[in-house]
Amino acid sequence: MNTNAIFKTVNQAKGISVGLIVKDFSAKDIFDKTFKLSNSLKNGNLVVIFIRGQWCPFCNKHLKELQEQFYQIYEKGASVVVVTPEKSEFIKKTIKKTGAEFTILYDENYKIAEAFNVLFRPSKVMRFIYNTILSAKLKESHTDESEQLPIPATFIISKEMKVKWRHFDPDYKKRSKMTDIIANLN
């Protein structure tokens, strides 16, 4: 890891704005299958949800709530993909904890989180709490040892690859609600 690297704080990450075009991306799922954004948009909108990882109780609660109601997204002709900086073996723990049946992608090298401007590095105190109290193992579960995380944001991407709607709040406790997602899929 580059010790001279400058990382964004949680307040410096602003999230990509509504109306902007999203750069095409690809990433691997737990089956080592490549997911490509442009291919996923052929049938309709895509809901992109960033989570921090299987160690995060707020992420697990959010995914459980989405799992219980995500059929509503499919009924609107859209699909869902979840993005995390955690490697496949840790994503499998997320699936076990939440029952998630939607695609969860490993954001290797944080490239998707960077493109959506949701990437930041928690303070030293918060990294200590995450790693010791919550057993996050950020250096082991991520691409590198920088211990960066995404702000848990939600974006709706249109077939034209534009951001139609977003829920972006630096407070990790505040997450998108299914009612808001559904209301903005039209």
Tens of pLDDT, residue by residue over 89-137, are 999 999 999 999 999 999 999 999 999 999 999 999 999 999 999 999 9
Predicted TM-score of the model (pTM): 0.95
Give the model confidence (pLDDT) of 25-81 as tens digits. Answer: 999 999 999 999 999 998 899 999 999 999 999 999 999 999 999 899 999 999 999
CATH number for region 43-183: 3.40.30.10
- Give dist(CA 171, CA 177) in Å, integer: 15
What's the count of helices (H) and strands (E) in the chain, helices before strands?
Answer: 8, 9
Q: What is the pLDDT of residue 118?
A: 98
Torsion of CA 149, 141, 46, 111, to 10 degrees: 60
H or E element, residue 106: strand 103-106
Looking at the DSSP bridge assignments, the partners of residue 104 are 82
Each domain of the chain, given as residue ranges in start order, spans 43-183
Strand partners, 79: 46
pLDDT of residue 3: 53
> Which amino acid would we find at residue 139?
K
First to last CA, the chain: 43
Closest alpha carbon to 87 in 136, 24, 158, 156: 136
Residue that the structure tokens 């410096």 belong to? 12
Calculate ∠ Cα 38-41-43, nearest 5°: 140
Q: How many residues does the chain have?
A: 186
